[in-house]
């Protein structure tokens, strides 16, 4: 089937050089508006902060608490080392990863479609991911490349009657590296492992050898995590316990938002990914009518594994849909092989631009920079050289002000959200009380529309802050979401307070 399709691909998009240029151009065009925004998302800010702390010798989980795997913080430490804590550099690196993932999608797509269809599938991925939180530095933007690489080894192995072991081991290593960036990638990794075992069985390999290779594949996949566990074990029992609790135990202690959040996740997926999903289904039907084969089964299994990963998380965040976009884009490549395929691609691109303010919000990102710069000046001036605590708001303020910290819980969600109360290793109310007892010079809070998501302990914390501190600044209601309704509270005993600026 691929040979016949290959013969049809004679448009300029069939050229790998033009395809590469288009992929880079679209990767930049769909993300460039956010490059100047220093606070695009709270997660990106925190990952960069944790990376900087790691460079300064402060260990994740011990000195800076979070439950993400160590590989993500090592990646951000490298970004911080390159860019000196610049969010602009985060965006450059993330754009490079997005473009590389799109190129890998094209290479895989060549097994299902013409070069033209494969290129359009790759470009579709780049247009879609800003809709689901993938415009800046969310973790799937990075590990999607690793999973796409593993899938490429899998699809290539489907053509072999032997020598499957090497691509299997390479794919499992990539899956293992992905798991050091985000644990949920385990589900896709398990599928790839099972798929390789099926290919081995299909080639007539003896059951004993299949079992042996399966054990070796598991060992290879777990190797990156094992190395990280070893580094903490060598540091001491306390460090190892902190690592284990944060990266494993706390995941199961974190509660979800309930059925309403699940329904919101389904609706979000349908709103943003339905066009690509329908095109992926149409591509699968087209391949089935042309004969299908083992590769189609492998791709379908990957899509189902991605959907299972999205559904498995008890709480909903938009970027959890990012891994599903990779196999969907590959499957849609077959649909773009239709004579009218480019029209459907153009419609998909237009839909993404229209429905997603992220791609076109030039003024919003510019305003975010202006308001954040002002906020940073206000915080730095109000602290009088003292420590700060970000109860809610931009954690990039820790880096920009260089202020000392009063807790190892630097991501606000860990102490203010109700779903985290029993999942962070301490009683959040006690930790918030301890933070107040350490008397930070400045506390930053941010009003949320969904205040019911705050824990009771954090609401009590806010009430105490309003009595012991005085507000010195509040960002306007019309500011972009990341810096909207941010309040700066200065300890009352500090002299030279500026006049409060009310929210208008």
Residue 496: pLDDT band with limits 50, 70, 90: low
Question: Strands 388-390 and 469-474, how do they pair?
Answer: unpaired
Instruction: Inform me whether the pLDDT recorded for 7 exceeds 60.
Output: no
State the pLDDT at residue 502.
Answer: 38
- Average pLDDT, integer, range 358-373: 93
More confident call, 503 vs 384: 384
Q: Say whether 290 sits in a helix, a strand or coil.
A: coil
* Residue of 60, 69, 49 whose CA lies nearest to 235: 60
> Which helix (DSSP H) or strand (DSSP E) does residue 400 occupy?
helix 396-401
47, 49, 51, 52: CA torsion to nearest 10: 170
- Ranges 159-173, 197-211, 245-259: which has the least confidence: 245-259
Sign of CA dihedral 329, 330, 331, 332: positive
Q: 412: which DSSP letter? A: T
* Residue of 441, 378, 389 whose CA lies nearest to 414: 389
Q: How far apart are CA 309 and CA 67, in angstroms?
A: 17
Decide if 391 contacts 458 (C-beta within 8 A).
yes
Instruction: Inform me whether the pLDDT recorded for 80 exceeds 90.
Output: yes
Instruction: Inform me whether the pLDDT recorded for 345 exceeds 80.
Output: yes
> For the segment 383-401, what is each residue's pLDDT rounded down to a tens digit?
999 999 999 999 999 999 9
Decide if 35 contacts 9 (C-beta within 8 A).
no
Residue 271: pLDDT band with limits 50, 70, 90: confident
State the pLDDT at residue 2.
Answer: 42
Collect all residues with Cβ–Cβ distance below 8 Å to 318 and sequence separation of at least 6.
132, 133, 268, 272
- Bridge partner residues of 445 (DSSP): 487
State the pLDDT at residue 255.
Answer: 76
- Domain residue spans in the chain? 2-360, 362-491
Of all residues in the chain, the percent with pLDDT exceeding 70 is 94
Collect all residues with Cβ–Cβ distance below 8 Å to 451 and sequence separation of at least 6.
459
* Residue of 463, 359, 380 whose CA lies nearest to 128: 359
- Average pLDDT, integer, range 113-123: 96
- Bridge partner residues of 471 (DSSP): 489
3-state secondary structure string across 70-93: HHHHHHHHHHHHHHCCCHHHHHHH
- Phi/psi region, residue 448 (left: phi>0; alpha: psi -120 to 50; beta: rest), is beta
Decide if 135 contacts 32 (C-beta within 8 A).
no
State the pLDDT at residue 258.
Answer: 67
Decide if 308 contacts 184 (C-beta within 8 A).
no
Residue 65: pLDDT band with limits 50, 70, 90: very high
Average pLDDT value over all residues in the chain = 92
Residue 9: pLDDT band with limits 50, 70, 90: very low
More confident call, 159 vs 154: 154
- Average pLDDT, integer, range 190-198: 97
CA 418, 420, 425 angle in degrees (round to 5)? 140
Q: How far apart are CA 112 and CA 173, in angstroms?
A: 25
User: Residue 207 corresponds to which tokens in the numbers above?
Assistant: 């059951």
Collect all residues with Cβ–Cβ distance below 8 Å to 18 and sequence separation of at least 6.
12
Instruction: End-to-end CA distance of the chain: give it in Å, rounded.
Output: 63
CA atoms within 13 A on the CB side of 202: 17
For residue 444, report the phi and psi dihedrals to the nearest 5 degrees. -110, 130
Question: Strands 442-446 and 469-474, how do they pair?
Answer: unpaired
């Amino acid at each position: 089937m691929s040979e016949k399709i290959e013969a049809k691909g004679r448009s300029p998009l069939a050229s790998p050089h033009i395809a590469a240029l288009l992929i880079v151009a679209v990767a930049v065009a769909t993300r460039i508006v956010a490059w100047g925004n220093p606070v695009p998302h709270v997660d990106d800010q925190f990952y960069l902060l944790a990376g900087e702390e790691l460079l300064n010798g402060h260990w994740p989980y011990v000195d800076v608490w979070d439950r993400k795997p160590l590989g993500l913080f090592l990646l951000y430490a490298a970004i911080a080392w390159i860019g000196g804590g610049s969010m602009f550099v985060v965006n450059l690196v993330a754009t490079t990863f997005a473009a590389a993932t799109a190129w890998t999608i094209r290479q895989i797509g060549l097994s299902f479609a013409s070069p033209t269809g494969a290129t359009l599938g790759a470009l579709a991925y780049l247009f879609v991911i800003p809709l689901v939180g993938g415009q800046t530095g969310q973790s799937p933007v990075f590990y999607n490349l690793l999973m796409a690489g593993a899938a490429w080894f899998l699809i290539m192995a489907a053509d072999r009657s032997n020598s499957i072991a090497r691509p299997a081991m390479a794919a499992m290593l990539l899956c293992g590296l992905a798991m050091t960036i985000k644990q949920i990638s385990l589900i896709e990794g398990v599928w790839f492992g099972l798929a390789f075992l099926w290919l081995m069985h299909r080639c007539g390999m003896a059951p004993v050898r299949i079992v042996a290779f399966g054990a070796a594949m598991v060992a290879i996949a777990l190797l990156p995590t094992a190395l990280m566990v070893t580094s903490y074990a060598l540091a001491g029992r306390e460090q190892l316990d902190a690592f284990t609790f944060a990266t494993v135990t706390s995941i199961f202690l974190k509660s979800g938002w309930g059925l309403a959040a699940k329904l919101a996740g389904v609706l979000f997926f349908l709103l943003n990914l339905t066009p690509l999903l329908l095109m992926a289904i149409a591509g699968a039907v087209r391949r089935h009518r042309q004969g299908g084969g083992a590769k189609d089964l492998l791709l379908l299994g990957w899509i189902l594994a991605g959907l299972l990963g999205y559904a498995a998380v008890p709480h909903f965040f938009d970027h959890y849909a990012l891994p599903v976009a990779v196999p969907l884009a590959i499957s849609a490549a077959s649909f773009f092989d239709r004579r009218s395929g480019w029209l459907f691609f153009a419609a998909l691109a237009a839909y993404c631009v229209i429905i997603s303010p992220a791609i076109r919000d030039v003024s919003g990102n510019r305003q975010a920079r202006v308001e954040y710069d002002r906020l940073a000046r206000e915080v730095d001036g109000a602290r009088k050289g003292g420590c700060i605590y970000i109860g809610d708001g931009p954690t990039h303020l820790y880096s920009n002000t260089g202020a000392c910290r009063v807790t190892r819980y630097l991501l606000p969600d860990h102490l203010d959200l109700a779903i985290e109360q029993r999942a962070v290793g301490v009683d959040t109310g006690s930790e918030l009380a301890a933070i107040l007892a350490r008397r930070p010079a400045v506390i930053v809070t941010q009003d949320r529309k969904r205040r019911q998501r705050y824990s009771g302990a954090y609401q009590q914390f806010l009430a105490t802050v309003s009595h012991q501190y005085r507000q010195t600044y509040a960002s306007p209601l019309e500011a972009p979401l990341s810096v909207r309704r941010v309040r700066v509270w200065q300890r009352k005993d500090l002299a030279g307070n500026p006049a409060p600026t009310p929210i208008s």
